[in-house]
Amino acid sequence: MKLIALAAILALAAGCAQEKTRYGDAKGVETLTNQYGSTDLQMMAESMARSMSQAPVIASNNLPVVTVQEVRNKTSEYIDTRAITDSIRAELQKGGRVRFAVDAAGMNQQTEELKRQQSDLYAKDSAAEMGRMVGAQYRLEGNIISIVKQVKDTKDVYYKLNLQLWNIRNGLLEWSDEKEIRKTTTRG
């Protein structure tokens, strides 16, 4: 009798602890916490890419060459700002209006590959030549800041992403825009 009761309790406990995994909508509104999340990343990237595609230097359809520099994270939390610029780059690239030159982060891999192709392993006529890389005309950089306020059961977070497109040759600011997001969490 005791054994049956024990087995029943164990089965119940196992039942309670059962996990369920489901696929969700990657583009859905995510409000699990008020920390920087996927919806913020997607909204910022889309808003900035659409705005930038209307900048005169991009809209002129001259296929300008842009390099992506750092988006400085000035918030109080960890944000992979590379994910923001990667998404912006992907959207602009799909729009077919901008070409991207290899950036500082990818330079090592680029030069390593170039050097590798210069080795005796490759046929000279198909190997990429040295000195053929295209320099960027514009550089994209920016900042993301946050202001966090908390009183008792309410926490308010404000994010602002500012991006700028600078002309490398003359140092002129060709385009700049901001995207703001406010999230408030209340308990109870």
Question: Taking the complex as a whole, how short is the minimal distance between the CB of residue 115 and other proteins, in angstroms?
Answer: 36
Give phi and psi for 115, each to the nearest 5: -65, -40
DSSP 53-81: HTSHHHHT-S--EEEEEEEEEESSS---H
Q: Minimal CA–CA distance to 184: which of 145, 157, 159, 161?
A: 157
Does 59 bind other proteins (CB under 8 A)? Our answer is yes
Nearer to other proteins, 12 or 59 (CB): 59
Q: Is 42 in the site for other proteins (CB under 8 A)?
A: yes
Q: DSSP per residue over 103-165, as a string?
A: -GGGHHHHHHHHHHHTSTTS-TTTSPPTT-PPPPSEEEEEEEEEEEEEETTEEEEEEEEEEEE
Among 76, 95, 111, 115, binds other proteins (CB under 8 A): 95
96 touches other proteins by CB under 8 A: yes
Residue with smaller CB distance to other proteins, 87 or 167: 87
Written as six digits, the tokens of 96 are 């077919």
Distance separating alpha carbons of residues 173 and 164, to the nearest angstrom: 7
- Taking the least distance from each CB to other proteins, the nearer of 31 and 109 is 31
Binding mask 16-35 for other proteins (x = CB under 8 A): ---------x-xxx-x----
Is position 61 an interface residue for other proteins (rule: CB under 8 A)?
Answer: yes
Least spacing, CB of residue 133 vs other proteins, in Å: 27
List 39, 69, 117, 164, residue binding other proteins (CB under 8 A): 39
Binding residues for other proteins, rule: CB under 8 A, are 25, 27-29, 31, 39, 42-43, 46, 49-51, 53-54, 59, 61, 91, 94-96
